[in-house]
Chain A
């Protein structure tokens, strides 16, 4: 009696949200996955996968998307490590003010945030006016609708996630351990690679998962800053589904996106230290 009462209470607590997500998330997802294996006559077929995954159009876009993911993750780590180090060494008051500012790119409308880069990188934008004013160029340089524009836009969006992950990892390293390495004769680079990096590996891996998977699936940034000239998986999927009405190929891209995220997530999670 007691057991079943507890069981009923738990079912009432967890049941509704689990049921909601089964109905309006897992079921639609399973349905789309099943549909992607349906050939023209409705029977099971891998033909549509084989032909689409081999098409140069898909391969170029997929390679480019993964490249963006790697570049954004590397750029984020390069900037976020020293910055988080500086944040952790600050007094609590200053730090909490700066931390509340660092999350702003995550909180603002993605369209507003990305539109700002149009003003900076556009034909008559900040950088082109600056270049012309300094006499470096006469014709406006083409900065928008390039790969660089997408990487810069994505980095602004995802850097905060790397900073948050690294700050919470670096917080737990006693400052003494770095001092010890330095006083024993290690130079700064050695101290970083042999002491700081291994001790903050967990936060670094978590940050990389968030930044990489976010970058390879982001839609708004490549849609505005890359246009139709520089497609990524997300913008290609939108094109296939809403412009070309090619549902089969859009579905295959969806499956590729989910699998790529999942594989990267599982591989990196395995790398996390046991203590996590």
Chain B
């Protein structure tokens, strides 16, 4: 076997290992029995039906959606200007500020959630939703910043300078010249941040409170008490939606370059 063939065989094994489990869970969610078996016996859609009739899944879905949208929007509003400053200018204290803003990346999510919980207890009771929003925004800022900065670096400074030298104010030239040119990067940052927040467990784990849970946390809680394929059906739905989003984003802006 020559080296290209060997590499190709390993590549196939790798893809089976990465994607096989998704196929398995998809097939398993159509089974009839209340105990997870593979291959499943019979064919039924009742577990999908059950997902849409469980109030806790519907509630937690909306919680996750709100938190993800708000945190993503905030992270972009805070991160895009910072990315612009870091890429375009050199200034005193730049290194320190860059370290501060990228620091959530190297701290485990579980520790961030834990520290915020302890902090919120100290400063008085915050609404659960607000706490989740703050925690998620904190982890998304460096992420959004990194993705936007990467696409800013690929944008030719001279184009912006031309606009400025022709009399456009900085702010105006940013919105009319820079932003349209980095829109793929901003869109990628939005999608990646949204997915990161929507799927997050470690930060949310300590920040969910009585009656308010995000969808992944609610799924974990459900799994502690029930073993039926409802979670398999819900997982299949989430996987299919994710595949569609990722493929669309890959085609539109080459998402995998920004991961």
By a beta-carbon cutoff of 8 Å, the part of chain A in contact with chain B is 6-7, 9-10, 12-14, 16-18, 20-22, 24-29, 31-32, 35, 79-80, 82-83, 85-87, 89, 96, 98-113, 115-120, 122, 124-126, 129, 155-156, 159-160, 163-164, 188, 213, 217, 219-220, 223-224, 234, 237-238, 241-242, 247, 250-251, 254, 257-258, 261-262, 265
Contacts and interface: CB of A to CB of B under 8 A. Distances in A.
A107 B259 CA distance: 10
Interface stretch (B47-55, B114-122, B151-159, B160-168): B114-122
Contacts of A247: 118
Interface of B: 3-4, 6-8, 10-11, 13-15, 17-19, 21-22, 24-25, 28, 35-39, 78-79, 81-82, 84-86, 89, 91, 97, 100-101, 103-104, 106-112, 114-116, 118-119, 122, 134-135, 137-138, 141, 145, 170, 195, 198-199, 201-202, 205-206, 215-216, 219-220, 223, 231-232, 234-236, 238-239, 242-243, 245-247, 250, 254-256, 259
Contacts, number: 264
Contact of A104 (B135, B235, B246): B246
Given A18-B101, A27-B119, A124-B36, 17 more contacts: A7-B91, A10-B89, A20-B78, A79-B10, A86-B8, A100-B255, A102-B15, A103-B246, A109-B198, A112-B239, A116-B24, A119-B38, A125-B37, A160-B259, A254-B110, A254-B111, A254-B115
Contacts of A220: 201-202, 216, 220
A215 B84 CA distance: 33
Contacts of B82: 13-14, 16-18
Contacts of B256: 96, 99-100, 102-103, 164
B163 to A, nearest CB: 17
Contact of A237 (B24, B114, B199, B201): B114
